Amino acid sequence: MVVEEGKPTILTGIERFASILEQDFDITISDHVSPPRSGTSQHRFAVESFTADGETIESIAINADALATLGQCHRNPTDVPVYGGGVVDAPVGDGQYHCSWDGPDEDEEIGTVDKYGRIVVGYEFDWRSTVTGPKKDQACVRVHHLRFKGGIQNEFVRDDSVTDLESTEI
């Protein structure tokens, strides 16, 4: 499959997306159709046809942002810098914090389909904003999921769930 894309994280995301479809959904991508025009962020793929909700699907789409996330998130939980405890830089400034994550729950392992029909595709340490203010002050691990959304677009969309972590300034 030839892909014209200048962003390495999106290229890596496309490779991972193809692998996830093949391994976890038994869907084979036969061709990639680049975004049709400048400013379009959706990538479309021709696939060997499959059936979803009684409808035959011959192409699927995924947003470039979701592909970029796939391209940079960790597939192995032990690669997350706070797995088992680690030091991370503060979201702003020169400070450092110690955080610890024990790894995913059993229902959050790569390839697992959750009760919402989403498949777990990766993990990422992040700082997020809490409801008390706009600054990023809560350490967390994001668990990234893909969910198939049928209809006109027949697309995969990215969802996240978040596990908040205790953080101690060093």
| pLDDT tens by residue, 21-42 | 898 888 899 988 766 555 568 8
**21: in domain:** yes
Q: For residue 13, which of 159, 170, 158 has the smallest C-alpha distance? A: 158
Tell which wins on pLDDT, 134 or 55.
Answer: 55
Structure tokens that stand for 155 in this block? 């697309």
**Residue 24, class by beta-carbon neighbours within 10 Å (0-12 exposed, 13-18 middle, 19+ buried)?**
middle
Question: Based on the structure, what is the number of domains in the chain?
Answer: 1
Q: For residues 105 and 54, what is the distance between their CA atoms, to the nearest angstrom?
A: 33
**2: in domain:** no
- Which pTM value belongs to this model? 0.85
pLDDT digits 0-9 by tens, 101-120: 999 998 899 988 888 889 99
In sequence order, what DSSP letters do the residues of 116-128 get, joined into one string? TS-EEEEEEEEEE
Q: For residues 27 and 72, what is the distance between their CA atoms, to the nearest angstrom?
A: 23
Residue 108 domain boundaries: 8-169
**54: in domain:** yes
